[in-house]
Structure 1
Amino acid sequence: MQSYEDYGFLKFDENGKILATNSYGEKLLTELYMAGVSNLFEYLVSVLNTGKNIFKTNKETYGIKFFNQEELSFIIIPLGEFVASISEFIDISSLHHEIKNPLTAIEGVIQVIESKYDDDYLKKCTNIIRKESSRIKYLLESVNVLTDLKLNYSDIYIDDFLKNIVDKFVIIYNKIDFILCIDDSIKKVSGDREKLEMVFNNLIKNACEAANTSRVEIRYEIDSTIKFFDREKNVFKKMLKFSIIDNGNGIDRGIRNKLFTPFWTTKSKGSGLGLVISKEIIEKHFGKIEYKSVEGEGTTFSIYLPV
């Protein structure tokens, strides 16, 4: 086998236990353990399932270069300087401004045309232009969220937070049964309320729109299997797990590895950025987002946040 001494090598047994590693692999083990990853094999597979093959620790960005499914072994490489943020080579705010200005002009011209001509065919054309212009603006706003994601932390009282969100969906999706499981022993979590509302709104909406969904359940609990290491306080923190569960048809296996791919969507009116933004927001909170889906039975999205 080729030598990969400059890369991380990890080999597991069928139960996820590490059978072999090298010095770089040991370094990676320490970093991920400090980040709260308890089941490394499961974590690496979940990274592969995103289709991006990239993950981050507090120290480095890594890519999964190779995965041998028969031997359950991984080759992991540090990406470092090769993975640059888009904001490092393009001014997103300027791009947003330069695109939004002509869109505003286009919408102005549409209004002038509609005021001077009373033609049904022309109205259909202008409606299409207006609709697509609005879609571009929405995409720009979404990209702005990704590139300028600043968090304003405050105490969020979970009961109130979830009830306010669910109340809206009860009205919109009145044929779906909503079940909210409240745990009185867990009162609050720290985070950016506005940003977390974006995440929960997106995931609950996706659950409601899953084919043949008749029930959506939202629950939360402390997950004892995973912890977050707070570097500032030098302590391990518990992780709070939120689960959003639907009983729809489940996610087709053929598209699961594309779920977190930017601009990819199965919805005719979707932007393909909802899950991407949700994942980025949760990771900024030092948490993680994952899912499990069984075709014909439903899907569960789980959000982990340190408490």
Structure 2
Amino acid sequence: MTTRSEPGDGPSDASLSAIMGERRQLINLAYRLLGSLADAEDVVQETYTRWYAMPRRQRDAVESPGGWLTTVASRICLDLLGSARARRESYVGEWIPEPLPDRGEWAGGPPGGGAPPDPADRVTLDESVNMAFLVVLESMTPAERVAFILHDVFRYSFAEVAEIVGRTPGACRQLASSARRRVRAGQAPSAPAARHAGLVRDFKQAWEAKDIAALIGLLAPDATAVGDGGGLVSAVLHPVEGGEPIARYLVDLTARAPGLALLERTVNGQPGLVAQQDGVTVVVIAFEVAGDRIRRLWAVRNPDKLRPWTAG
């Protein structure tokens, strides 16, 4: 298997700098496969551990170290995806992928403050990491997800994907096709970026004003709000459905959490909101916009998933 290095990366070889240069590729791949930066970091660490556990002679014999690393990382992700379903069945509240800030908004790496810390600068925020896309990925089987991400996002051939998934190239083609159908069925057509940002801004202002009527006007009648707690954080155990119930829930929430400050931030490459109390991020909200209304909201409260937003 070859490796798809990003523009500007040098050729892959067995030197330390070249091997470590694959880290960006591996983090990007593992985050898209798992929906968790923490898990992605663990996968990459395990991948490098396995590389350096091999005898030097065996490492030198690997024709494409980058391809070897990608293959191993993908197989680890495939195994983790199989066990993740059982773990998430016992999760408190709905499980939502870990939200990521824009590069300049990463905690500890403010704009103009020099190079942001690893691995914040190593996750490329594009359409393949917006929250709606990642949520659809969660509905796929592990094999579908791996085949789809490797082929459609990272442009590996089906012959290469087959080496990882352990199926024939034809079977991998079918897996990716099935995954594409899930994506088409599960996502609304993307709204223009300016319209998305405007709706989020209007939503923030209406929420701050506790204007239920304005909130209802911004939400689709069949809108859904999903809250992610986990750990010891209280969670909304079931999605809130309908524009009016969501609007009333949000206004009631601000009454129970005085001093909540709402900030416009980039969440997984799209306009979103961050709620802070006493300067500490306590909720990150991602939105899906369909036409002129907000169709879905995902609110992440699990502290373990807010590390990039709160760590100094």
> What's the TM-score once normalised by structure 1's chain length?
0.27
Structure with greater helix percent: 2
Higher RCO (Cα < 8 Å, 6 or more apart): 2
Larger radius of gyration: 1
Structure with greater strand percent: 1
